[in-house]
Amino acid sequence: MYMMVKHIHLTAVALSILFFIVRFFWSLRQSPMMEKKWVKITPHIVDTVLLASAIGLCFILSQYPFVNPWLTDKVIGVVLYIVVGLYALKLARTTMTKWVGFAGALAWIAFIGKVAVTKQPLLFG
């Protein structure tokens, strides 16, 4: 069961990151793709699978945010990634600020990945 949920989770992570990058470049080009219904819905579906599999892994491993510091760091990193990613995709007004938001979102992704692989907290260790 663990391996199946882990693979679902990692697949959802990859899809979520890939789709974020694609949508970022579409937003820079002001592509009509950004207005397609499936482009607006798909990230929510992928992120729901991502969240559900993360919760499943927490229960399978008996490790929980605010109990295990490394997992707390991941949750905080995910929240900050969402905020900065939202800024990059929708709130930033200039190309430069969009790129700053994009770089910031990628930095939070790297942070989350580092914590996930090492299981070592970096913020609250």
pTM of the model: 0.90
Do residues 43 and 18 lie in contact, with contact meaning Cβ atoms separated by under 8 Å? no
Q: Specify the number of domains making up the chain.
A: 2
Cα 82 to Cα 44, 61, 104, 125, distances in angstroms: 12, 25, 10, 22
- Domain carrying residue 47: 1-62
62's enclosing H/E stretch is none
Cα radius of gyration (the chain): 15
Residues 6+ apart with CB under 8 A from 61: 2
pLDDT-above-70 percentage for the chain: 98
Taking residues 57-75, report their average pLDDT. 94
Between CA 18 and CA 30 the distance in angstroms is 18
pLDDT, tens digit, 9 for 90 and up, residues 93-108? 999 999 999 999 999 9
Residues 57 and 86 in one domain: no
Residues 88 and 58 in one domain: no
Can you say whether the dihedral through the CA atoms of 4, 74, 86, 83 is positive or negative?
positive
Q: pLDDT-derived band of residue 125, with 50, 70 and 90 as boundaries?
A: low
Residues 72 and 45 in one domain: no
Is pLDDT above 70 for 27?
yes
Residue 124: per-residue pLDDT: 67
Residues 90 and 125 in one domain: yes
Taking residues 29-39, report their average pLDDT. 96
Residue 122: per-residue pLDDT: 83
Taking residues 33-47, report their average pLDDT. 95
Is pLDDT above 80 for 63?
yes
